[in-house]
């Protein structure tokens, strides 16, 4: 029999999308078990370094403020060795970790916003520069056309009589624009 190939079904879908993850802040009340009632693997390993999730009992959360943990407390199928003190400490450490993660994500986002606005300013500046150059180019074209026009139409003798060099004529022509 061929088994169906199912996609993953994440416990926390909001954590799967990296964009959401950046601004996502945990909503669970117990940071020891994330409101599952069972202590998170990474936290379990802080107290049981060689914990094997396939062979060892899941660890019941003993955080006194955790309602989810009460489903597993006293049940011999679950590891009951974590004390209130251990779970309270794990809850505290996990909260601090999340605090740091949230702060670092916030800083990353802040930096991206600053970088993005710098980029916009640079583009604006480049745009203004390009406009200025375009303007100058069109001015230069006008002058060049006027030069050509003058050179073609001007009577050199008359210009000499008026004591005007061709360059001066061109300057006048440019000033008119
Ligand atoms: Zn808990």
The answer to whether the CB of 6 falls within 8 A of the CB of 26 is: no
Kindly state the average pLDDT of the residues 8-25.
65
Report whether pLDDT(26) > 50. Answer: yes
What digits encode the pLDDT tens for the residues 106-120? 788 778 878 887 777
Supply the pLDDT for residue 99.
83
What digits encode the pLDDT tens for the residues 51-90? 999 999 999 999 998 999 999 999 999 999 999 999 999 9
Distance between Cα 92 and ligand 1 center (Å): 12
- Of 153, 148, 147, 152, nearest to 168 (Cα)? 147
Distance between Cα 9 and ligand 1 center (Å): 22
Distance between Cα 103 and ligand 1 center (Å): 24
Distance between Cα 93 and ligand 1 center (Å): 13
Side-chain-side CA neighbours of 113 within 13 Å: the count stands at 6
- Residue 73 CA to residue 108 CA, distance in Å, equals 41
Supply the pLDDT for residue 173.
53
Supply the pLDDT for residue 42.
94
Average pLDDT, the chain: 78
**Helix, strand, coil abundance in the chain, percent, nearest 5:** 60, 0, 35
């Amino acid at each position: 029999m061929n088994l169906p190939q199912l996609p993953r079904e994440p416990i926390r879908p909001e954590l799967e999308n990296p964009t959401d993850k950046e601004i996502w802040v945990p909503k669970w009340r117990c940071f020891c078990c994330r409101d599952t009632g069972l202590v998170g693997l990474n936290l379990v390993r802080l107290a049981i370094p060689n914990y094997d999730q396939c062979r060892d009992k899941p660890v019941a959360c003993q955080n006194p403020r955790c309602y989810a943990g009460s489903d597993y407390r006293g049940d011999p199928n679950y590891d009951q060795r974590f004390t209130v003190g251990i779970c309270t400490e794990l809850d505290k450490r996990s909260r601090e970790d999340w605090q740091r993660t949230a702060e670092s994500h916030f800083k990353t986002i802040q930096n991206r916003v600053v970088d993005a606005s710098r980029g916009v300013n640079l583009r604006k500046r480049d745009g203004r520069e390009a406009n200025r150059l375009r303007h100058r180019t069109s001015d230069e074209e006008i002058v060049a056309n006027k030069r050509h026009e003058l050179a073609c139409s001007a009577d050199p003798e008359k210009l000499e009589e008026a004591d005007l060099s061709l360059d001066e004529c061109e300057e006048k022509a440019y000033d008119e624009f």
